[in-house]
Chains A and B, each alone.
Chain A
Amino acid sequence: MQIESEKDGEGPKGSDIARKLPWQDPRVLFRYKLRRLADKMVVAVTILAVVVVLYPLLDILFMFFYRGALAISIPRLTGLTLQFGLANAIVGTLLLVSLSTIIAVPLGVLGGIYLAEFSAQDQMSKTFAGTVRFLSDVLSGMPSILLGYVGFLILVIDFGWGLSPLAGGLILSILMLPYVIKTTELSIRKVPLKLREAATALGATKTQMVNRMTFPLALPGILTGIILSMSISIGETAPLLFTAGFSNYYPCGLTNCQVGFLTYIIYTFAKIPTTDSLSLAYLSAFLLISFSLVLNMTARIGLRRLSKI
């Protein structure tokens, strides 16, 4: 029965089979050519997209490296902003980034260790860890200007720290925190279960296992995360305007002393159309791009290696 019904179904198509083979049919050939053409056009469009996207990057890099290199001079690199030099801003940026790193690293690394090692023990720690992960995602998506306002109201005004390196550094460290937490957790989770089991079998306590085995093994990944977060904090401007202020002189203390930084120079001097101001802005853009690209790309290469293992 079945065989017969199949034959019935084939019946009407019999005449089609007698026709030319598909690749001899001009309509099929035409459609094939069209499809090939569409394919080539899409390839052309994607190449165009790449060119359009890379053009601004190359323009930015060339322009700032060229004009920045032209602006390099000893007085500009060693003088104070007062005499159109960048020395105080370079020192200030380094101070702010080091302060924020010193605050963010212990907090972020310990937080990451908690999420990776202690969060799966009971239901309550699972919920808590989920909340921490969620809020740290929220924190990394939060516009930094909001933290600047909060820092201004709380640290600068209420705590009485004034516009200062400490206020700026603390706000930057909060911005860095989610990145450090996340990369720490991920790197620790990468440590193979076999090694953990071996450590436990040898009688190691949890603390010994984490401190002597997991943490050292995860260290390269953790360092990568720290470098990435530093590259983010070095390029920040908005929150620092309201927490660090600006000064034409070298930093003079941790609180109640405004501090200069490179991004401020770009933000302010870019709008002043005199040669001196613009040269200074070009030079700081040059320095800033160099610093942050080196840090950022190092971290990204490291992260990619990390995700592959």
Chain B
Amino acid sequence: MVKRYGDTVYKSLTLIVAASSILFIISAVAVLLFNAYPSIISNGLGFFTSANWNPSLSGTVETVNGIHRLTGSSFGILVFIADTLASSAIAILLAVPAGLGVAIFLTEVAPRRIAAPISFMVEMLAGIPSVVYGFWGLIVLGPYLFNTVEPYLAEHLSFIPIFSGPISSPGLLSAGIILAIMIIPIVASISRDMMARTPKESREGAKALGLTRWEVTRRIVLPYAKTGIVGSIVLGLGRALGETMAVAMLAGSGVQVLPKSLYYPFSTIASYMVLNLDAALTDPSGMYLSAIMELGLVLLAITVTVNVAARLLIKQGFASSSENVVRV
């Protein structure tokens, strides 16, 4: 190839632009770290081991070891962690069977002319903005759960601790269901793609040996697609852990108790962050804001770990030809 001066300029230009995405993410992490620093120093490990989150906004500013905070304030994030994990766990428990069921239906059961529109509709679920899910949860799902489903569950399943009353709000269950609906398209569409890649030879061989459709699915298709399916579930988990608006519209703004049943009001990390910035800005010592930033760092660490794991699994699942498929 002819080497020209212009090529070098062009390459450098695109290189600088490509570097900008690195710059954005590094500066975002730096900003979070910088602002969280007072809280990291002042709250120490108690931040992760205590369930007592009390900004104590009526306190006066005191200075300990050069760091300002309000007297009587205490920042422990165990409640937010527990609520985040619990709502995501419910979501995964509901979304995995539903998503896999849809994926099996699309690849193994349905004829093509039925599968195409259904897979289109499942993907539509991914195109609905999360604030709309929150709105739907607020006016349809929440009241329905609170008035019909939850009293029924509490009456008939109360021997299982997490199902026993009292019912004080639609609670964790409503968040779990909304999150499940939001991550089903992720689980279903990636699993479907993975399962569709099962080699024709294995599938036909199994059929020729007399295996039924379900046996082919269970013994040939699912083992073949296993890594990718696990990856899709982990990717869904990452989405559920970080989901903000849909959950925030159903959440309490400052819940102080660890959840003991599905009906407890809740605050996930993301919902707490979106609902409390204004309150945090009223703290003259700045410790409240700093603690929320540390909370943000925790959320970042969790979601990045989960997402990276998911992408590795999915890439491994797609093996050599992973570059041919666009993942969203």
Of B45-53, B115-123, B146-154, which binds chain A?
Answer: B115-123
Q: How far is the CA of A43 from the CA of B212 in the complex (A)?
A: 11
Q: Write out the residue numbers on chain B whose beta carbons fall within 8 Å of the beta carbon of A154.
A: 27, 31
* A182 and chain B: residue at smallest CB distance: B326
The CA of A191 and the CA of B10, in the complex, are separated in Å by 19
Is A179 close to B, CB under 8 A? yes
Contact of B134 among A132, A139, A141, A267 (CB under 8 A): A267
Contact A60 B132 (CB under 8 A): yes
Query: Which of A12-20, A83-91, A235-243, A251-259 sits within the interface?
Result: A235-243
Q: Does B77 contact A (CB under 8 A)?
A: no
For A54-82 the 0/1 string (1 means CB < 8 A from B) is 10110110011000000000000000000
Residues from 213 to 272 in B contacting A, C-beta threshold 8 Å: 213-215, 217, 238, 241-245, 248-249, 270
| CB neighbours of A271 from chain B (8 A) | 138, 249
Q: In the complex, what's the smallest C-beta–C-beta distance from B97 to chain A, in angstroms?
A: 7
Please indicate the chain B residues that have their CB under 8 angstroms from the CB of A137 in the complex. Answer: 307-308, 311
Is B14 a contact of A110 with CB atoms below 8 Å?
A: yes
Which residues of chain A come closer than 8 Å to B242, judged between CB atoms?
A: 141-143, 145
**Would B22 and A142 count as touching, CB distance under 8 A?**
no
Q: Closest approach, in angstroms, between the C-beta of A214 and any C-beta of chain B?
A: 12
Interface of A is mostly: helix
From B18, B32, B134, B241, contact of A149 by CB (8 A): B32
A63-B127 in contact (CB<8A): no
Within 1-27 of B, Cβ neighbours of A (below 8 Å) are at: 1-4, 6-7, 10-11, 13-15, 17-22, 24-25, 27
Complex Cα distance, B100 from A183, in Å, reads: 27
Take A150-B28, A228-B328 as given contacts and tell me if A60 and B21 are in contact as well, using a CB distance cutoff of 8 Å: no
CA distance A110 to B324 in the complex (A): 21
Contact between chains at A146 and B102 (CB < 8 Å): no
Q: Is B184 on the interface with A (CB-CB < 8 A)?
A: yes
Cα–Cα distance between A36 and B215 once the two chains are bound (Å): 10
Q: A146 contacts B10, CB within 8 Å?
A: no
- Pair B326/A242 contact, Cβ less than 8 Å: no
- B157 close to A (CB within 8 Å): no
- Please state if B102 and A307 are interface contacts (CB–CB under 8 Å): no
Partner of B109, one of A47, A189, A263: A47
Contact pick for B21, options A35, A42, A136, CB 8 Å: A136
- Flag if B22 contacts A131 (CB, 8 Å): yes
* Residues in chain B near residue A64, CB distance under 8 A: 132, 136
Contact B25 A135 (CB under 8 A): yes
- A263, B131: Cβ atoms closer than 8 Å: yes
Across the interface, do A143 and B118 meet the contact criterion of CB distance under 8 Å?
no
Q: What's the Cα separation between A266 and B139 when bound, in Å?
A: 12
Report chain B residues within 8 Å CB of A181.
18, 21
On chain A, the number of residues with a Cβ less than 8 Å from chain B's Cβ atoms is: 97
Provide the residues of chain B in CB contact with A198, threshold 8 Å. none
| A39-B214, A141-B307, A293-B127 given; A46·B105 CB < 8 A | yes
A283-303 residues at the B interface, CB under 8 angstroms: 285, 288-289, 292-293, 295-297, 300, 303
Return the chain A residue nearest B327 by Cβ: A182
Are the C-beta atoms of A270 and B7 separated by less than 8 Å? no
Q: Are A57 and B121 in touch, CB under 8 angstroms?
A: yes
With contacts A47-B109, A139-B21, A266-B131 known, is A118 near B97, CB below 8 A?
A: no
Measured between beta carbons, the chain B residues less than 8 angstroms from A141 are 238, 242, 303-304, 306-308, 311
Given contacts A153-B35, A296-B127, contact A129 B134 (CB under 8 A): no
Is the pair A186, B326 in contact by a Cβ cutoff of 8 Å? yes
Closest to A264 in B: B131
B residues within 8 A CB of A94?
Answer: none
Contact of A270 among B19, B108, B138 (CB under 8 A): B138
Q: Does A113 contact B (CB under 8 A)?
A: yes
User: Nearest Cβ in chain B — how far from A22, in angstroms?
Assistant: 10
B17 is contacted by which of A107, A142, A238 (Cβ under 8 Å)? A107
CB of B6 within 8 A of CB of A205, answer yes
Report if B78 contacts A (CB, 8 A).
no
Within 8 A of A (CB), among B30-50: 31-32, 35
Q: Does A111 contact B (CB under 8 A)?
A: yes
Contact with A along B132-147 (1 / 0, CB 8 A): 1111101110000000
Q: Which residues of A contact B56 (CB under 8 A)?
A: none
A107-B20, A145-B244, A207-B6 known; A289-B122 Cβ under 8 A:
no
Return A71 CB to nearest CB of chain B, in Å.
13
Listed from nearest, the 8 A-B pairs whose CB atoms lie closest are: A49-B101, A235-B129, A141-B307, A296-B127, A143-B242, A114-B14, A46-B105, A110-B17
Q: Give 6 pairs: A residue, B residue, CB < 8 Å, sorted on A.
A: A50-B102, A54-B118, A150-B28, A205-B2, A238-B244, A241-B274
Can you name 16 extra interface pairs (CB under 8 A) apart from A146-B273, A181-B21? A35-B212, A49-B97, A53-B181, A60-B128, A132-B21, A135-B21, A137-B308, A146-B299, A147-B28, A149-B296, A152-B277, A205-B2, A207-B4, A266-B135, A270-B135, A306-B326
